[in-house]
Chains A and B, each alone.
Chain A
Amino acid sequence: MNEIIIELVDVKKIYTLTKEIQVHALRGVDLRVSRGELLIIMGPSGSGKTTLLQIIGTLDKPTSGRVIIDGIDVTDFNENQLARLRREKIGFVFQFFNLIPTLTAIENVMFPMLLAGKYTKEEALKRAQLLLTVVGLEKERWMNTPRKLSGGQQQKVAIARALANNPKYVLMDEPTGNLDVYSSAKVLDTVKWLNQFYGQTFIVVTHNPEVAEMGSRLIYIRDGRIMGSPKTLIRLDTLQLSKEEIKMRLEAQLDLLKIELSSAKRRNAESKIIDEIEEKISRTEEKLRGL
């Protein structure tokens, strides 16, 4: 169960902008990720978390240090080997969804499968349909191109696409960064469910504490170093935010949820949705009282 699927050993990344100016994005990161984790990476802008994600995703190579994925040292792989590795072992979900605009939802999910050549066209189609059902995209949206899908729907397709080749782990870069509260919740629920139900490993980079809450482990990165990797999840109050800031955000969140609730009632939404929102409201109110 405690199988290590990602291991970073003293990874450094230096961007050379000019001869004099060098940016140390990562200053020696050691990280191990086990199968089944839902790892959250948090940190302020410019802390190096995107660089870390790119190195874990083999989109970029470290200046020094080793990257071991699924027991294989991939540090010296060439570009095509890395491409094959990515399509077989890594799934990506981006902030801006990044679906292929000319392909329909289902084709977007099928594409990595056909590229990997592991499945026949029929198998790929069946898998794509199942995956879209798993992430909860309505059947009538399957033949739509991304332009005709909402942000939340696009992100669902993106998650389905990330899962297409049954990857070892899925990387998410601000998966809810461009989504409204409701869609965010849907997407996060999906992620949580996939993690708990299927043991799918996720690594999520985020600013959003709501997202951070669902993680099984959280690491905080600052100035190119991992600052802390506590066993238990860091709660809101342990983040480096002032009480006023947290209070302001929670109140805003509460307002947003109330608007959401009234809108859902007006639209005669399912009781399940209303219950969910009400549950979130009570959770947020609880947090506010706890301050």
Chain B
Amino acid sequence: MFHYEDFHYNFIFKATFSLYIQLSIFSTVNMRSTEFKVCLIYALKDLTSRKTRTAFTILGIIVGIAAMTSLMTIGTGMKVEIEREVTELLGSSILLRDREQSPIPMYVAFVVNQIPGVNETIPLAFGTGSTNGNPTLIFGVPPHRISIYAPITAGRNIGSDFAYEALITTDTAKKLKVNVGDKVTITTTASPTPKVFTLVGIVAQGSLLQMALAGGMPVMVVSLAQAQQLLNLRGSVSMIVVRVSNPMLINSVVESIKEYYPVVEVITQEDILHTVSSIISTINAVLLAIASLSLIVAALGIINTMTMTVREKTREIGILKAIGAERWHVFTIFIGQAVVMGFLGGIIGVTTGFIGAYGIIEYYLPRMLRVPLQIPFVVSMDTAIEGVILALIVSSFSAFLPSWKAANIRPVEALRYE
């Protein structure tokens, strides 16, 4: 879905751009270069003689282009980051879970383990509970598997399956104001009697994925057996991670699993990437639509300015024509002003957009989402060029009609005009 839209968007964009280029080449061929230069200089002098009006028109373009650029930069960065985390975490693994989200019997893991091509299966149990009275996601993993997915950055791993020991993420530690060595009490609806766990270590966990799983909730990692007890999942698990020895075998493994356990839902890395991408591109599309509104407002601003300028300059256009300016000279003078404003607005807008995106990625998003996001900030040349071209297209298209009107003013009427 995303790729299709991407293609569609690019296609329209490139088609418009090539039309624009063709038009400019056509008109340049028709003009002798000195005349063209003279008209452009005239246009520039005109613009600088109305500094305030020009500045505000350019500002309109800047706002529109900056909004587009920053949203595109953030959107691309977010997509790249999520894809990276999913790929890193999942690799050539597949996930099994029940279609209705109910627990899967533990033995499924053992059976799936026997399928050719499966390296190992890791059962996971998770659910909500509370730690020291705060809502928490309780995450049960076989202790010897934890380090594969989340490196332990401080303290040590959980000693055994039945130890009352827990690991927390850096973020959770901060949120609950606890540290390694502290004791915490965990309760769940299935096990209301408080159980005391000792925090033995801190794990680093992909922040975006944590956000996706827990919705920003604190995460408490315990052994699988403890989680099963806390969440009342005896003999069952929430999800099974199946590690396949070779990515080429994923499809055949998926086939076999589906054959044995049709009730089980199989999620591959591709599925997740696909879902994530389509969600992000939908959000991006909505945001871009809002940003394009500001571009429409900028276009209206240009139409307004140019129409006013042409009206004010009716007499001047008459003089120009009397002293020998042809239609395209007048047209060039006015469309030239719009192109100059579009170009300046585009360049400044793209720059402002990148600065804005940097600010949002570095300072605003982490605070708003309360997770340490590491969205990469990339200054994409493509985005920059597209931004400038978009500004040029918007400005020259909106100035087209006023300029055309100006070009067609008859000298007699213009000289009579007071």
| A residues with CB within 8 A of B | 54, 57, 59-60, 79-80, 83-84, 86-88, 92, 94, 98-103, 111-112, 114-117, 120-121, 161, 165
A59-B415, A98-B315, A100-B316 are known contacts. Are A115 and B49 too (CB-CB below 8 A)? no
Asked if B412 contacts A116 (CB within 8 A), the reply is no
Asked if B38 contacts A114 (CB within 8 A), the reply is yes
A54-B412, A115-B329 are known contacts. Are A98 and B324 too (CB-CB below 8 A)? no
Tell me which residues across on chain A come within 8 A of B323, comparing CB atoms.
Answer: 86-87, 92, 111-112, 115, 161
Q: Is B322 an interface residue (CB 8 A)?
A: yes
Asked if B49 contacts A102 (CB within 8 A), the reply is yes
Tell me which residues across on chain B come within 8 A of A84, comparing CB atoms.
Answer: 324, 326
Interface size on B, residues (CB 8 A): 24
Asked if B34 contacts A117 (CB within 8 A), the reply is yes
Asked if A102 contacts B34 (CB within 8 A), the reply is no
State the Cβ distance, A162 to closest chain B Cβ, in Å: 8
In residues 15-57 of chain B, which contact A (Cβ within 8 Å)? 32, 34-35, 38, 42, 45-46, 49
Interface residues of B, dominant DSSP: helix
Q: Would you mind naming 15 contact pairs between A and B with Cβ atoms under 8 Å apart?
A: A59-B322, A83-B327, A87-B323, A94-B319, A99-B319, A100-B319, A102-B46, A102-B49, A111-B42, A114-B38, A115-B35, A115-B324, A115-B325, A115-B329, A121-B34
Among A79, A88, A94, A115, which residue has its beta carbon within 8 angstroms of that of B38?
A115
Binary per-residue interface labels of chain B (384-415) against chain A in the complex, 1 for a CB within 8 Å, 0 otherwise: 00000000000000000000000000111001
Among B32, B319, B325, B327, which residue has its beta carbon within 8 angstroms of that of A117?
B32
State the Cβ distance, B320 to closest chain A Cβ, in Å: 7
A114-B34, A115-B38 are known contacts. Are A92 and B327 too (CB-CB below 8 A)? no
Tell me which residues across on chain B come within 8 A of A115, comparing CB atoms.
Answer: 35, 38, 323-325, 329
Tell me which residues across on chain A come within 8 A of B49, comparing CB atoms.
Answer: 101-102
Tell me which residues across on chain B come within 8 A of A112, comparing CB atoms.
Answer: 323-324
Give A117 to B326 CA distance when docked, in angstroms.
Answer: 13
State the Cβ distance, A158 to closest chain B Cβ, in Å: 10
Q: Is B321 an interface residue (CB 8 A)?
A: yes
Tell me which residues across on chain A come within 8 A of B34, comparing CB atoms.
Answer: 114, 117, 120-121
Asked if A80 contacts B327 (CB within 8 A), the reply is yes
Number of A-B contacts (CB under 8 A): 71
Among A54, A83, A99, which residue has its beta carbon within 8 angstroms of that of B324?
A83
In residues 346-399 of chain B, which contact A (Cβ within 8 Å)? none
State the Cβ distance, A250 to closest chain B Cβ, in Å: 32
State the Cβ distance, B51 to closest chain A Cβ, in Å: 12
Among A79, A88, A101, A120, which residue has its beta carbon within 8 angstroms of that of B316?
A101
Give A60 to B38 CA distance when docked, in angstroms.
Answer: 26
Give A77 to B411 CA distance when docked, in angstroms.
Answer: 15
Give A54 to B411 CA distance when docked, in angstroms.
Answer: 10
Among B38, B320, B326, which residue has its beta carbon within 8 angstroms of that of A80?
B326
A87-B323, A115-B329, A116-B324 are known contacts. Are A60 and B35 too (CB-CB below 8 A)? no
State the Cβ distance, B37 to closest chain A Cβ, in Å: 8
Tell me which residues across on chain A come within 8 A of B319, comparing CB atoms.
Answer: 94, 98-100
Asked if B412 contacts A60 (CB within 8 A), the reply is yes
Give A84 to B323 CA distance when docked, in angstroms.
Answer: 9
Tell me which residues across on chain A come within 8 A of B322, comparing CB atoms.
Answer: 57, 59, 86, 92, 98
Tell me which residues across on chain A come within 8 A of B410, comparing CB atoms.
Answer: 79
Tell me which residues across on chain A come within 8 A of B411, comparing CB atoms.
Answer: 59
Chain A's closest residue to B407 (CB) is A79
Among A80, A86, A102, A114, which residue has its beta carbon within 8 angstroms of that of B45?
A102
Tell me which residues across on chain B come within 8 A of A120, comparing CB atoms.
Answer: 34
Give A60 to B416 CA distance when docked, in angstroms.
Answer: 12
State the Cβ distance, A175 to closest chain B Cβ, in Å: 15
Chain A's closest residue to B48 (CB) is A102
Give A94 to B45 CA distance when docked, in angstroms.
Answer: 23
Tell me which residues across on chain B come within 8 A of A103, comparing CB atoms.
Answer: 42, 45
Interface centre among B32, B46, B315, B324 (most CB of A within 10 A): B324
Asked if A83 contacts B45 (CB within 8 A), the reply is no
Give A161 to B321 CA distance when docked, in angstroms.
Answer: 14
Tell me which residues across on chain A come within 8 A of B45, comparing CB atoms.
Answer: 102-103
Chain A's closest residue to B50 (CB) is A102
